[in-house]
Amino acid sequence: MFQSSKSPRIFAIANQKGGVGKTTTSINLATALAAVGKRVLLIDMDAQGNASTGLGIRRSERESSSYDLLFGEKTVSECATTTKVPRLSIVPSSMHLSGAELELVSVENREFRMKSALSDIGGSYDYVVVDCPPALNLTTLNVLVAADAVIVPLQCEFYALEGLAHLSKTIERVKNTFNPKLDIHGVVLTMYDTRNRLSGMVATDVRSYFGSKVYDTVIPRNVRVSEAPSYGLPAIVYDMRCTGSQAYIQLAKEVIKREKQILRVEKVAA
């Protein structure tokens, strides 16, 4: 594999609430980034393994997993496997992750296990996208310590802002204590239903609270996106023309645009 000296940008896809489109966003954002020529690694850190299944990786095929990576038993290159999507690889999940929380309690430098695991990744990838579990536990903390930025999928529902405020405080604590470079890259509104007045109200509230941190792209409710995982395919591969797929393609473009803006700011600061 081609390597450069540049380290990849690491995105944590996180929200402590389940059912917000976190895994769907992880899969399709990673696929869209790969589709525009970026070399992408998706790491499935959720014990349910939905990101792995959604990319067609059967449990019987998961000889190495993110559990092995987290506990230093194997390297990224040993755990990563290719997918049906060109330039997209995945470190699949394992059921062993369900017990990782208890195991990490007694491990030395427990908050830095993932950071250490990704330290030798080199320039094999442009982006690493990590699908976090739906909880703010030690596994998620490990990802936040290793990440450059957090992308937060947010379902357009009544309690959205309450959960986002909690996550924001957690990210700020991690930034102050373990990872000073960590920041919220953006908030992506998911499962937006134009027929539902509540979706518009929530979107307005989130934008008024977080301003420019909220991506312009909104992910709509879409049947084709929901169907895709049962075929072991990202929605973008399953049906690229559907509204959900097109939205994720636009999201990837917006992410890359923000990356360029961040790079310009860093160059000026240097």
Torsion angle of C-alpha atoms 101, 102, 103, 108, degrees rounded to 10: 80
The residues of the chain scoring below 70 in pLDDT are 1-5, 270
So what's the pLDDT on residue 269? 78
232 neighbors 56 (Cβ within 8 angstroms): yes
Task: Provide the pLDDT for residue 2.
Answer: 41
Look at residue 82 in the predicted model and tell me its pLDDT.
Answer: 95
Cα-to-chain-centroid distance, residue 14: 6
Q: Are 8 and 121 in contact (CB under 8 A)?
A: yes
Which tens digit of pLDDT belongs to each residue from 34-62?
999 999 999 999 999 999 999 999 888 89
DSSP state letters, 154-190: EESSTTHHHHHHHHHHHHHHHHHHT-TT--EEEEEEE
Tens of pLDDT, residues 91-135: 999 999 999 989 999 988 999 999 999 998 988 999 999 999 998
User: pTM for the complete prediction?
Assistant: 0.94
